Chain A
Amino acid sequence: MFAIRILFICVLLVSTMLVSSCFSGRRGKGDAIKIQGAGSTFINPLMQKWVSEYGNLNSNIRIDYQSIGSGGGIKQVKERTIQFGATDVAMKDEDLASAPGPILHVPVILGAVVLTYNLEGIGQTLRFSPATIADIFLGKIKTWDDERIKADNPDVPLPSVPLTVVHRSDGSGTSAVFTNYLAKVSPEWKEKVGEGTSPSFPVGLGGKGNEGVTGQVKQTPNTIGYIELAYAVKNKMPVAQIKNKAGNFVLPNFETVTTAAAETLDQTPDDLRATITDAGGQNAYPISSYVYVLIYRDQMDEVVGKTLVDFLTWGINDGQRFAQALYYSPLPEGMVKRASAKIAAVSFNGRSLRTEPQ
């Protein structure tokens, strides 16, 4: 008798769940439009902000973004399991070629990778020139009072202690941007290590994620590592000045990162796949990068495609104002225009999905 009662309750529960899920599913069919995106973990805080703000403006649209990593985002876009992807590193030519249709890169925001360190008793902000950074991460500089570091910081009493490098151990866009920079400024780095999401660092400790590197630098004396700007600011870590192409030592902030993008606009190709590390310009921060949204040029569903186009258009215009509070840098004026033109190319059956004045 008892068993029967339990069974009955179970059946009741399951059927209730089924019925309720049916209804919630149905309700969506009439008016709510669901869009699924995935990719870069770097852009996740901003993307979640955008999704919630945009959802407030348009109650019938539900966008879901999963931060599974840029590599995963690219993969899922290629398999068409999601409607848009996001990546810190532009797709490679062969990846684009093997996709089922033309994929557009839409830059939506800018980020910066910063050098942070843990050196007791040093109040001043340290300065680094590109060759010194490369030598540190190549393992050629072993102590903090090395002549090459001293040359950049003549007024700082650098201690004679061993220097420990901390780098990312997981595959990440942060590493890709950082190694892309090092490969540009150091031929030796380019030849020995190269650039990529999981480079094989010659020395140092590996920390998992930005939080891992941040934790290890914070906890271990005499370390130096690279992290995203937001992590350095939020954890009150020191951030180094880096010598840019023009020869100035520059701190990373909203202006210097956006400047790096503005200065490279001329060299940016039509498909907008560009690296903006080691940018020219007096005030450009040299380790900056775009974050891209990946979207198919030819959309398969008119309503979904139109929603996506509207969302992205909103993001690169109104959405930019949320950037600074989350430690991203807004796109320069010129790039907003070019990204906007890119979005206008998204079409359904050959017709652009953008309704003109947004």
Chain B
Amino acid sequence: MSNLPDQIEDLQPKRRFSSSDKVYRILLTGCAALILIIVITMLIVIGQGSWLSIREFGLSFLFGQVWDPVKGEFGALPFIYGTVVSSVIAVLIATPLSIGVAVFLVEQAPRSLARPIGFLVELLAAIPSVVYGLWAIFVLAPFLRVYVQPPLQATLGWLPFFKGTPTGIGMFTGGLIMAIMITPIITAVVRDILEAVPVTQREAALALGATKWETTKIVLANASSGIAGAVILGLGRAVGETMAVTMIIGNRPHISASLFDPGYTIASVIANEFTEATGDLYLSALVEMGLILFIVTFIVTALAKLLIMSVGRKTQNVA
């Protein structure tokens, strides 16, 4: 009985909350710190691993166009070019497509149609990369070679982008397969964002006599920063995408204006050559590629963020 006051104190809500809050806070901080620690350790390890190559080639590594492991010459430029170009193709194709699908799902489709299509979109996101790659080799590439590339070449062949022998394999197909892969992600995020736009806005627009199209424009304008965020998410996935692209892009470290020519990406060369890389300098050069991918991703994301901020400001001004 003498313990009773203590027990009562134990049961006091204030103390219970404070201790559980403490645990809660520590847990959350731990989670956040873990991300930071992982990124920093990765940077340290990649930095250490690529030190030999950095010391050997210096800045010329970034601008070198020759990648010849046999002779020990390593240059990253064709890979950086391939990564950026294929990702840009992917985003250019995927963004309008995804926004279209998302607007349809949220603004147009009847419930009975929106559900199954939304489900299919999520299903697309769950397909493994290697399956996309195989599908690209056996279905997409032959299709493009026969039905898409020849007419493109016939009509727009005077442009430098559509020269060369159309084999179905190359930068164009690589970008297209990435576009298909990032479409579900962008679509899913944009859909959620559009759903978050208050219904009152739509009602207000319609009440003022706006057409469905004009209403959608207002909704899209209000959701623009969120949509841009979704595009960045897709872009991030495109830059780092490895397996499917490796299987279809042609894997040739060569800078060519033609999108029908084979190209190469940073992630692909690492996946391709790391297992059989012998020799310290060769390994180090591959690790430095990883470091460059890190930096390219960072720059691309930062640029996209800047773009959003400027767009966001503009729409705010309009509003």
Contact = CB atoms under 8 A, between A and B. Distances in A.
Interface of A: 68-72, 74-75, 92, 95, 162, 164, 169-173, 179, 193-201, 204-208, 212, 215-216, 219-220, 223
A336 B241 CA distance: 46
Given A69-B276, A164-B165, A208-B272, 4 more contacts: A69-B275, A194-B71, A219-B141, A219-B142
Nearest to B167: A220
Contacts of B169: 205, 216, 220
Best-buried of A169, A173, A194 by chain B (most CB within 10 Å): A169
B251 interface: yes
Nearest to B246: A208
Contacts of A212: 137, 247
24 contacts: A71-B276, A162-B165, A164-B165, A170-B271, A170-B272, A171-B69, A171-B273, A172-B276, A173-B276, A179-B70, A194-B70, A194-B71, A196-B70, A200-B69, A204-B252, A205-B167, A205-B262, A206-B250, A206-B262, A207-B247, A207-B251, A215-B247, A219-B138, A223-B167
A286 to B, nearest CB: 21
Interface residues of B, number: 34
Which 8 residue pairs of A and B lie closest in terms of their CB atoms, listed nearest first?
A171-B276, A206-B251, A169-B251, A69-B275, A200-B68, A71-B276, A170-B272, A196-B70
Nearest to A163: B165
A71 B278 CA distance: 6
A70 B276 contact: yes
B251 A208 contact: yes
Interface string B226-265: 0000000000000000000011001111000000001010
A128 to B, nearest CB: 21
Nearest to A179: B70
A275 B41 CA distance: 43
A201 B71 CA distance: 12
B275 A71 contact: yes
B66 interface: yes
Best-buried of B71, B272, B273, B275 by chain A (most CB within 10 Å): B275
Contacts of B252: 201, 204-206
A92 B70 CA distance: 13
Contacts of B79: none
B145 interface: yes
A289 to B, nearest CB: 15
Interface string B136-153: 011001100100000000
B74 to A, nearest CB: 10
B168 interface: yes
B127 to A, nearest CB: 18
A187 to B, nearest CB: 16
A196 B272 contact: no
Nearest to A98: B280
B67 interface: yes
Interface string B160-179: 00000101111000000000
Nearest to A195: B70
B277 interface: yes
Contacts of A71: 275-278
Contacts of B278: 71, 74-75, 92, 95, 197
A298 to B, nearest CB: 24
Given A220-B145, A220-B169, A171 B70 contact: no
Interface string B25-57: 000000000000000000000000000000000
Nearest to A67: B275
Best-buried of A75, A95, A198, A220 by chain B (most CB within 10 Å): A198
A223 B137 CA distance: 14
Interface string B53-85: 000000000000011111100000000000000
Nearest to A172: B276
A12 to B, nearest CB: 23
Contact of B246 (A169, A193, A215): A169
B145 A193 contact: no
A215 B139 CA distance: 11
Contacts of B71: 194, 200
Nearest to B146: A221
Contacts of B277: 71, 171, 197-198
Interface in B100-143: 134, 137-138, 141-142
Contact of B70 (A70, A74, A200): A200
Contacts of B66: 200
B276 A198 contact: yes
A168 to B, nearest CB: 9
Given A170-B275, A171-B276, A207-B251, A220 B69 contact: no
B70 A193 contact: yes
Nearest to A204: B252
A200 B134 CA distance: 25
A117 to B, nearest CB: 14
Nearest to A142: B165
Contacts of A72: 275-276
